[in-house]
Amino acid sequence: MSWVTAKRLFCLIVLVAVTLWAMHITVPDATEQTPLESSRLRDVLAPMQKGLTWLSRQAHFVVSLPVSMYRAAERNQALEQEVASLKSQLARQNEYIMENRRLAALLAYKQVMEQEYNLMTASVIARDPGNWFATVKINRGSRDGVKENMTVLSPEGLVGRVVSVSPSNCEVLLISDPRSGVGSLVQETRTPGIVEGTLGGSGMARMIHIPKNSLLEEGQIVVTSGLGSVFPKGIPVGTLGSVRDEPTGLFQSAEVKPFANLDKLEEVFIIVNVLPGAGSSPEGG
Amino acid sequence: MPFLVLLLLLAGAIILQTTVLDYVDVLGIKPDLIMLIVVLNGFLLGTREGAFLGYAAGILEDLFAGGFIGLNALSKMAAGYLAGMAGLRLFRENTLVATGVVFLSTFAGNSVYYILLNMVGIKVPPFYAFFRVIIPVAVYTSLLTPLFFRRIFRFVQLRDRDI
């Protein structure tokens, strides 16, 4: 064995020994502490290590900042796109939920009302362009059997009546239109009056020609009387608001807040005909 | 040709008025786009054009709405004429002036409409008419002026150059 070979062998042995020793002291459940562990050196080094770790973390952050910012920007863009797409999905789902609720309410109402009336559903497709009148166009016409003066309802209450019909759609005069008049009565007191529209945009109506001696209170319910109009009897119209004397002094009038949200109508019913035994005459007199 | 374009613009405005604008109403009041176009046209081009386009647009709207033919025609004609008179006396290139003119002309046009309504036998209480329709519509419509004025102004300038 040459001198060089012996030296290399010695180095190898030292290396293996050091490695074995290192293995020994790094065994997790070693019972004895190493000289370095037991000394106070570790406590002394700790703040320095902490500082170095902080420094290297900062350095890493500074060096990788452009890259991470670039990645963050990319990620941000992707997330923004995802959020936008999820938002639109959510809006669509909300729309479905709301439509579902509306249709469920319509269906329930239709099932109840079918004992009295033959109903046809329709959707609102356009409204009056101005702010004075209140008319809506709905997607049913003479082809579907719609005729003039048919009553139009929503599950909440009376909406109006059909005033003109074309083959595929028709125009409905809402009860808030100043041209509209509905023979009505106050449900509790049976006081008669006429509900006429005030203004298209306001969505409000008022009950006029109420006998002066009748006692009325805010919140009382107004229903159709079935007299002097084309509307069947007993359809809820709205609730009474403030009551005041008419200028003539013979009658009083009251504001009426319609049950149906006339500004936001989407689906409505048309009463095609009133079934016998419904408790009112078909055309209401 | 430009008049035809203006008519097409009006037809588009009427369709918007019957559909989309219901979703931007405030307290049940929607802005009157047709009135806005009529008034700005009158303001920029003068009384004759203002009154003529007002009448044409009003008739178109009346035919579309299927109510009383002539109500919108006469009231918008009055508004267009008034705006034309204002245009002759005021500085025409200022958006703020145009906004004021739209407010006053819309107010006047709707007041004429109210008078005409009374004439055809539709009684609307004056309080409702003024505080629920006439003033709110005038305010809402005039607030939209800055969105449209520059475009219509440029369009009118281009038209003059064509001539």
Distance from CA of A76 to the nearest CA of B (A): 33
Q: Which two tokens stand for residue A16?
A: 């293996």
A66-to-A53, A62, A71, A77, A194 alpha-carbon distances in Å? 21, 8, 8, 16, 75
Domains of chain B, CATH where assigned:
2-17+30-158 (1.10.1760)
CB contact under 8 A, A199 and B30: no
HEC string of A37-67 equals HHCCHHHHHHHHHHHHHHHHHHHHHHHHHHH
Three-state DSSP at A182 gives strand
| Buried/exposed A125-137: b ≥16 CB within 10 Å, e otherwise | ebbbbbbbbbbbb
Give the separation between CA A164 and CA A146, rounded to whole angstroms. 10
The residue whose two tokens read 């006439």 is B134
CB contact under 8 A, A131 and B137: yes
Residue A282: the pLDDT is 41
Identify all chain B residues contacting A129, using CB atoms and an 8 Å cutoff.
Answer: 14, 17-18, 34, 61, 64-65
Residue B66: the pLDDT is 67
CB contact under 8 A, B28 and A202: yes
Mutate which: B24, B76, B107, B124, vs A, most A CBs within 10 A:
B124
Tens of pLDDT, residue by residue over A110-142, are 777 777 788 888 988 888 888 888 888 898 888
Tell me the pLDDT band of A36, cut-offs 50, 70 and 90: very low
Residue B80: the pLDDT is 93
Helix or strand holding residue A174 (H, E): strand A170-174
CB contact under 8 A, A133 and B34: no
Q: Which two tokens stand for residue A284?
A: 């209401």
CB contact under 8 A, B65 and A128: yes
Nearest to B133 among A132, A137, A263 (CB): A132
Report yes or no: B64 at the A interface, CB cutoff 8 Å: yes
Residue A19: the pLDDT is 66
Q: Which of A217, A219, A138 is nearest to A173 (CA)?
A: A138
pLDDT over 60 at A207, yes or no:
yes
Q: How far is CA A87 from the centre of its chain?
A: 13
User: Hey, where are the domains in chain A?
Assistant: 36-115, 118-274
Distance from CA of B110 to the nearest CA of A (A): 10
Q: Which two tokens stand for residue B137?
A: 């519509």
Q: What is the DSSP string of B12-79?
A: HHHHHHHTGGGGG-BTTB---HHHHHHHHHHHHH-HHHHHHHHHHHHHHHHHHHTSSTTHHHHHHHHH
Residue A273: the pLDDT is 81
CB contact under 8 A, A203 and B132: no
CB contact under 8 A, B124 and A131: no
Residue A131: the pLDDT is 83
Instruction: Considering only residues A57 and A255, tell me which one the structure prediction assigns the higher pLDDT.
Output: A255
A254, A210 Cβ separation under 8 angstroms: yes
Three-state DSSP at A108 gives helix
Q: Does domain A118-274 have CATH number 3.40.1260.10?
A: no
Render each residue's pLDDT in chain B as its tens digit; 163 residues: 466 777 788 888 888 877 777 777 777 888 898 999 899 989 988 888 888 889 888 888 887 776 677 888 889 999 999 999 998 888 877 888 999 999 999 999 999 999 888 888 888 888 888 988 899 999 999 998 988 888 777 777 666 655 4
A 10 A CB-CB count for B7 gives: 14
Distance from CA of A166 to the nearest CA of B (A): 12
Give the separation between CA A220 and CA A86, rounded to whole angstroms. 46
Mean pLDDT on A56-60: 72
Strands A181-186 and A170-174: unpaired
CB contact under 8 A, B18 and A130: no
Length of chain A measured in residues = 285
Give the separation between CA A230 and CA A224, rounded to whole angstroms. 10
Report yes or no: B34 at the A interface, CB cutoff 8 Å: yes
